[in-house]
Amino acid sequence: MAIYLRTRTSPPYSGTLRRPALRHFGPNWYATVMGTAIVASAGAALPVHVPGLRGACTVVWLCSALLLAAVLAARAGHWAAHRDQARAHLADQAVAPFYGCLSMALLAVGGSGMTVGQDLIGHRAALALDVVLYTAGTVTGLVAAVAVPYLMITRHRPEPGTASPVWLLPVVAPMVSAALGPLLVAELPPGQGREALLLGCYAMFGLSLLATLVMLPLVFGRLVHGGPLPLALTPTLFLVLGPLGQSTTAVNALADVAPGAIGSPYASALRAFAVLYGVPVMGFALMWLALAAALVVRAVRGGMTFSMTWWGFTFPVGTCVTGAAGLARYTGLTAFSWLAVALYVLLVSAWAVAGVRTVRGLVSGVLLAAPRGPVPATARTR
């Protein structure tokens, strides 16, 4: 079955590039913010001490905050000047799921601000920033988790066998809220408010987890029956790591603050749940990482070139870093510490490559120029 690729890469363009404009500045650009912020928070979570790493993470966090401001401004300009294109994005089943990235960008910058940004701006400023971004990100994420599937059901109506890992983006956003909520739980005074936020995070954990379990079989079924994804979309396979690593991070972070927010029987059970859930899920994440990496190597050998989908190599891997770091803390196993370090090296390498290539694409105008048009490609590539 033929599908159409709208991913922007350098080959589809011919002739003189137009001056870069905001008309084609889509919601996928929030992935650059997420991928940058996770480098800072994952580095701070590592269970090993690396001289100078925290200072470097603080600088990276500042870059992510400035990048968030720039992308928000550009997206506002996009909606103001090109509303027809913005509505077309919502009507496009390949683009609409990226609206979940707005929520995760807000949450990632706010959360990393509490972990490393406070070294630069102080605790009170970091807390105020996180309250604003966490509230906005959580509300936006919950809306996207319902609105995007609603559009898929009522307007997009994708054909059978066309499931994409991108479909996970809107439903994984509440999991990011669940993982970063504990930073604010610890700031609340003991009582109903603290317990309500803790249990609210667990509710968002369940919402996102069950939605992911519904979609993952569709994605895997598409791969088995339809073959590998088109070359430009192959990096999106790494998006599956997002809910896996983020859910492991969430159960560990929630277990950290449970003793001060809920009664002792439940607090002890939640600490046990962090290990009983996290270890099997991390095992599956490593299996998927190996499978996705093998398919990416195959795609590179087949001629895959850079596109914005390469940012899929960053945030999902970063969630696995924080998940492995949490398991290292709760189990005491050195193996999880080394796993977190190895994944962090992979994360920083992917972020550096994607960042350099993105800057190059912006300077040349390729990433903001209008696509030449839909490029037909078969679902099974050779």
Closest listed residue to residue 313, CA positions, set 276, 343, 287, 339: 343
Within-domain flag for 370: no
Query: Alpha-carbon torsion 377, 156, 72, 313, what sign?
Result: negative
Within a domain: residue 167? yes
Task: Choose among 138, 142, 144: nearest CA to 90.
Answer: 144
Alpha-carbon distances of 171 from 84, 143, 146, 283, rounded to whole Å: 26, 10, 8, 22
Residue 87: how many CB atoms within 10 A of its CB? 11
Region at 197 (left for phi over 0; alpha for psi -120 to 50; beta for the rest) = alpha
Residue 14, helix vs strand vs coil: coil
Residue 13 belongs to some domain of the structure: no
pLDDT one digit per residue (tens) for the chain, 382 residues:
333 334 444 344 334 444 447 888 999 999 999 999 999 999 999 999 999 999 999 999 999 999 999 999 999 999 999 999 999 999 888 899 999 999 999 999 999 999 999 999 999 999 999 999 999 999 999 999 999 999 999 988 888 888 999 999 999 999 999 999 999 998 999 999 999 999 999 999 999 999 999 999 999 999 999 999 999 999 999 999 999 999 999 999 999 999 989 988 899 999 999 999 999 999 999 999 999 999 999 999 999 999 999 999 999 999 999 999 999 999 999 999 999 999 999 999 999 999 999 999 998 888 887 765 544 444 444 4
Residue 362 burial (CB count, 10 A): 12
Long-range contact pairs involving 192-199 (C-beta distance under 8 Å, separation at least 24):
194/260, 194/261, 195/261, 195/262, 197/261, 198/254, 198/257, 198/258, 198/261, 198/262, 199/262
Find the domain containing 159 and state its range. 19-365
In a domain, 231, yes or no: yes
Q: Has residue 304 been placed in a domain? A: yes
Domain count for the chain, please give it.
1
Tens of pLDDT, residue by residue over 241-280, are: 999 999 999 999 999 999 989 988 899 999 999 999 999 9
Distance from C-alpha of 327 to C-alpha of 274, rounded to nearest angstrom: 8
Residue 43: name the closest of 359, 378, 351 by CA: 351
Q: Which amino acid is at 195?
A: E
* Cα-based distances in Å from 58 to 11, 37, 287, 317: 36, 10, 32, 19
Q: Within a domain: residue 311?
A: yes
Distance CA 231, CA 269 (A): 45
What's the CATH number where 175 sits? Answer: 1.50.10.150
Q: Which amino acid is at 360?
A: R
Please report, for residues 78, 84, 171, 367, 371, the alpha-carbon distance to residue 81 in angstroms, rounded to integers and kept in the order given: 5, 9, 29, 18, 19
Q: Six-digit token pair at 379? A: 């679902």
